[in-house]
Amino acid sequence: MKIAVNRTLTTGAVVLAALLAAAVVAWVQRPAAAASAPDAKATSVLTVSTVTPKTETWPETVQGSGPLAAWQEIVVSPETGGLRIAELLVDVGASVKRGELLARLADDSLQADLRKQQAAVAQSRATYEQAVSNLQRAKSIEDSGALSAQKVEDYRITEATSRAALALAQAELDSIQLKLRQTRIVAADDGIVSSKSAVLGNVVNAGAELFRLVRQGRIEWRPELDARQVATLKAGQSAYVTLPSGERVEGQVRLVGPTLSTSTGRTTVYVSLPATSPARAGMFANGSIELSSPRPAQTLPQTAVTLRDGRAYVYLLGPGDKVGSQPVTTGRRQGDQVEVQGLAPNARVVASGGAFLSEGAQVTVVSSAEAAGKAPGGAR
């Protein structure tokens, strides 16, 4: 019985030793087999989709950017001072018409001055009429010798003085009446109220700004362009302005600046926009001005172009799903498309995410719909 047990133990030890030896051999040989596998694939750094260049017909354009500003501004100020603002009738954003009442100044003191001056005019007129009557009587008896020449001359001087005093009183009356009309602050032209500095109850000075209007509600785009670009521009050319909201507005070149800045070498181009557009003064917008008839353009989505070190690049898909960069020259832009030069018509270009790629990087290629649901850097 003891001998059987010993044999069983010996047999088990041998089997266990054999299994351990086989495991050690497999562990030692595993890295070598993995290293020698010819189909081992590098880790993908990005999941991408590809596009090929399209040929479209685009007009020749000049690109620019600049602020939106009022075509003309109207500053509304009182012509008389020292009076209190009694009434404000409009607020910022209101559309007003030429001659519409915007504000009214208190006229109580002017009304009192008016009545006083009307009485002064009546008194001067009575004095003048009496002087005229005295002069006429003196002239009628001048030849009879009843009055001396000196006395007749005194009547003549009195009549002239009374006439001048009446004219002065009438002029002062006219001045007060003018000031009364000026207490009504009206719009000089149609427009939109862009700012209001008037405060109810404030005593204003002559010439102090109360309101500012965008004349006729017209807004302009004012890009600054260099001499090479300006040389091809003229009034009447069509322009397309992209507002911060993404909306595209069509306008027309009104004026090309006649001189260039000596410090920047650029000049301002004035592009009129429709009064009904959503453009607002103070916005900053990009846009383009059409120069000539359309011509073909090889285009890509702007997301496919990567800017690096001042140059534009695209990444092309190569064998084994590895990418390589290629410099391109960009040109005209429309919407989210950009004109490129230097690509083969059938080139497979990485559609987006170029900023995350490097030369020879391994990528995973999926369809555009699948790529849209993956964030940049979604490595597998």
Closest CA to 317 of 271, 371, 263: 371
Name 283's bridge partners.
Answer: none
Measured torsion, CA atoms of residues 361, 367, 370, 374, in degrees rounded to the nearest 10: 20
Closest CA to 328 of 303, 348, 345, 306: 306
Q: Are residues 86 and 189 in the same domain?
A: yes
Q: Are residues 51 and 113 in the same domain?
A: no
Residue 186 inside a domain? The answer is yes
Residue 160 inside a domain? The answer is yes
Q: Are residues 350 and 249 in the same domain?
A: no
* Phi, psi of 330, deg, nearest 5: -95, 155
CATH number, position 259: 2.40.30.170
pLDDT at 216: 93
Query: How many angstroms separate the first and last alpha carbons of the chain?
Result: 63
Q: How confident is the model at residue 36 (pLDDT cuts 50, 70, 90)?
A: very low
pLDDT tens digits for range 267-295: 999 999 998 889 999 999 999 898 876 78
Q: Look at residues 293, 326, 348 and tell me which one is the last residue of a structural domain.
A: 293
- In the predicted model, what is the mean pLDDT of residues 201-213? 94
pLDDT at 42: 67
Q: Are residues 189 and 312 in the same domain?
A: no
Query: What DSSP line would sit under 44-92, residue for residue?
Result: P-EEE-EE--EEEEEEEEEEEEEEEEESSEEEE--SS-SEEEEEE---T
Q: Are residues 279 and 168 in the same domain?
A: no
Q: Are residues 226 and 260 in the same domain?
A: yes
User: Domain span at residue 193?
Assistant: 74-213
Q: Are residues 335 and 358 in the same domain?
A: yes
- Cα separation of 92 and 212, whole Å? 9
Residue 190 inside a domain? The answer is yes
Closest CA to 257 of 249, 267, 247: 267
Per-residue b/e over 195-230, b at no fewer than 16 CB within 10 Å?
ebebeeeeebeeeeebbbbbbebbbbbbbbbeeebb
pLDDT at 367: 77
Name 253's bridge partners.
Answer: 271
pLDDT at 164: 96
Q: Look at residues 171, 190, 213 and tell me which one is the last residue of a structural domain.
A: 213
The answer to whether the predicted template modeling score (pTM) of the entire model surpasses 0.85 is no
| Structural domains counted in the chain | 3
Residue 295, helix vs strand vs coil: strand
Residue 376 has pLDDT above 70, yes or no: no
pLDDT at 231: 87
| Residue 141 neighbours by CB under 8 Å, 6+ apart | 147
Q: How confident is the model at residue 20 (pLDDT cuts 50, 70, 90)?
A: low
Q: Are residues 198 and 249 in the same domain?
A: no
Count, residues in the chain: 380
Please report, for residues 209, 264, 275, the alpha-carbon distance to residue 65 in angstroms, rounded to integers and kept in the order given. Answer: 31, 15, 20
Q: Are residues 200 and 84 in the same domain?
A: yes
**How high is the mean pLDDT of the chain?**
84
pLDDT tens digits for range 54-111: 888 887 888 899 999 999 999 999 999 999 999 999 999 999 999 999 999 999 999 9
Q: Are residues 204 and 89 in the same domain?
A: yes
Closest CA to 67 of 203, 366, 270: 270
> pLDDT over 70 for what percent of the chain?
84
- In the predicted model, what is the mean pLDDT of residues 20-31? 50
Name 194's bridge partners.
Answer: none
Q: Look at residues 154, 180, 213 and tell me which one is the last residue of a structural domain.
A: 213
Residue 12 inside a domain? The answer is no
pLDDT tens digits for range 325-366: 889 988 877 778 888 988 888 888 998 888 888 888 888 888
Closest CA to 215 of 74, 112, 318: 74
pLDDT at 154: 87
pLDDT at 17: 55
CATH number, position 114: 2.40.50.100
pLDDT at 23: 52
Residue 184 inside a domain? The answer is yes
Q: Are residues 124 and 208 in the same domain?
A: yes
> pLDDT over 90 for what percent of the chain?
50
pLDDT tens digits for range 312-336: 989 998 898 888 888 998 887 777 8
Closest CA to 62 of 249, 288, 232, 267: 288
Residue 117 inside a domain? The answer is yes
Question: Do 238 and 290 contact (CB within 8 A), yes or no?
Answer: yes
Residue 7 inside a domain? The answer is no
Residue 26 inside a domain? The answer is no
Q: Are residues 189 and 110 in the same domain?
A: yes
pLDDT tens digits for range 138-195: 888 777 777 778 888 888 999 999 999 999 999 999 999 999 999 999 999 999 999 9
- In the predicted model, what is the mean pLDDT of residues 19-47? 55
